[in-house]
């Protein structure tokens, strides 16, 4: 198998910066014999302002259990090479590769915008998913506190929400989450890909270690916060053999529910992940891709609703059966649905019913 022309940077997930798919010109790295491809310069994170005029995004996807979400950040410093959100950086004129994990956008006006949007007379309450496209608790959140400020606004309105993260930083906000969880207004999902620390460091270089995420599950549950664990992505050959072990570990940590998502390779993620395979797992690369193609009708990716999350075919069915058997054996159960009834706009009089 041909060697990737890119070399990994320490602490970064992508092995390079493919050009924006909307760019007029495309570039290609070529080894000129002088070792120029081996001399990668250190990559520093740059923080930019996202001046969006709205903060709630709406969707009508049948694959997700929510119709609205909030993403305080664009791009993610966790650097997960498999991240399905990477192609969204092309909309900003940037590369879905290293730009995605080093050129980050934040929304400083998000709390004010959220308060305005929730206060509109026509707004109808439904659970909001926080940090769906990129992690709301990525490292820069420690300094900026945008996610905490958004949760404080949601608490003011008694608005139900869920948050998904692979960061232990969420423990900082337990003081906000606990009283909301008692009123069934807050759920947390922790994303976990593997229990193998060396593999996790390569796949998710700046995310919390797997064992640290299990500890976060324990601490949230001990505080009374409902926690689901999402095994995402489940990667054939690399991590699929861990499925039952991961489920047992998160159940022991106190997770109430569990789910999984098969690896997705939309747009530029496909080439980025295959480059990663050639660099970090060259002997398994073809095996990984062949098993994925078994689940995608012979293609690297299938974007159809109802198929993109789990795949189809014999191999996908085997994964599904293994998951269902372990789920029943361990005794997982669905968490209670979030409650929209308490939602109130602060300072607005409540309209009483006629009868």
pLDDT in tens, 148-159: 999 999 999 999
**Quick one: which of 76, 72, 225, 52 has its CA closest to 153?**
72
Domains and CATH numbers, the chain: 42-278 (3.20.20.70)
The residue with greater pLDDT, 27 or 327, is: 327
CB 272 within 8 A of CB 14: yes
pTM of the full structure? 0.91
Flag whether pLDDT at 13 surpasses 60: yes
Q: How far is CA 37 from CA 33, 127, 280, in A?
A: 9, 47, 17
**CA-based R_g, the chain, Å:** 21
Q: Which two tokens stand for residue 54?
A: 């709205």
pLDDT digits (tens, 9 = 90+) for 228-257: 999 999 999 999 999 999 999 999 999 999
4, pLDDT greater than 50: no
Q: What is the mean pLDDT of the chain?
A: 92
pLDDT of residue 23: 67
Between residues 262 and 41, the one the model is more confident about: 262
- For 86-135, write each residue's pLDDT tens digit: 999 999 999 999 999 999 999 999 999 999 999 999 999 999 999 999 99
* Segment 194-207, tens digit of pLDDT: 999 999 999 999 99
pLDDT band, residue 347 (cuts 50/70/90):
confident
In the chain, the largest separation of any two C-alpha atoms, in whole Å, equals: 83
- Confidence (pLDDT) at 348: 79
pLDDT band at 67, cuts 50/70/90?
very high
């Amino acid at each position: 198998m041909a060697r990737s022309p890119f070399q990994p940077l320490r602490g970064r997930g992508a092995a390079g910066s493919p050009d924006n798919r909307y760019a007029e010109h495309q570039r290609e790295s070529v080894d000129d014999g002088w070792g120029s491809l081996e001399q990668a310069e250190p990559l520093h994170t740059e923080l930019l302002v996202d001046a969006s005029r709205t903060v709630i995004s709406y969707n009508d996807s049948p694959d997700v259990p929510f119709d609205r979400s909030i993403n305080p950040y664009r791009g993610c410093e966790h650097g997960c090479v498999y991240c399905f959100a990477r192609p969204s950086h092309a909309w900003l004129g940037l590369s879905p590769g290293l730009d995605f994990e080093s050129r980050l956008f934040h929304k400083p006006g998000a709390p004010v915008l959220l308060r305005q949007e929730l206060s509109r007379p026509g707004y109808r309450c439904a659970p909001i998913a926080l940090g769906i496209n990129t992690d709301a608790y990525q490292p820069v959140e420690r300094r900026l506190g945008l996610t905490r400020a958004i949760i404080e606004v949601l608490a003011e309105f008694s608005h139900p929400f869920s948050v998904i993260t692979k960061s232990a930083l969420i423990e900082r906000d337990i003081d906000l989450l606990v009283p909301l969880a008692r009123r069934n207004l807050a759920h947390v999902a922790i994303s976990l890909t593997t229990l193998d620390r060396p593999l996790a460091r390569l796949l998710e270089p700046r995310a919390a270690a797997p064992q640290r995420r299990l500890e976060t599950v324990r601490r949230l549950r001990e505080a009374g916060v409902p926690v689901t664990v999402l095994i995402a992505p489940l990667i054939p050959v690399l991590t699929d053999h861990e499925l039952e072990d991961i489920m047992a570990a998160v159940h022991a940590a106190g997770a109430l529910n569990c789910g999984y998502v098969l690896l997705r390779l939309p747009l530029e993620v496909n080439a980025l992940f295959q480059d990663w395979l050639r660099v970090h797992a060259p002997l398994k690369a073809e095996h990984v891709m062949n098993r994925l193609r078994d689940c995608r009708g012979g293609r690297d990716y299938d974007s159809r609703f109802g198929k993109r999350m789990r795949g189809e075919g014999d191999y996908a069915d085997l994964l599904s059966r293994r998951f269902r058997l372990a789920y029943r054996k361990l005794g997982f159960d669905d968490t209670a649905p979030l409650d929209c009834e308490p939602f109130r706009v602060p300072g607005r009089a409540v309209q009483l019913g006629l009868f």
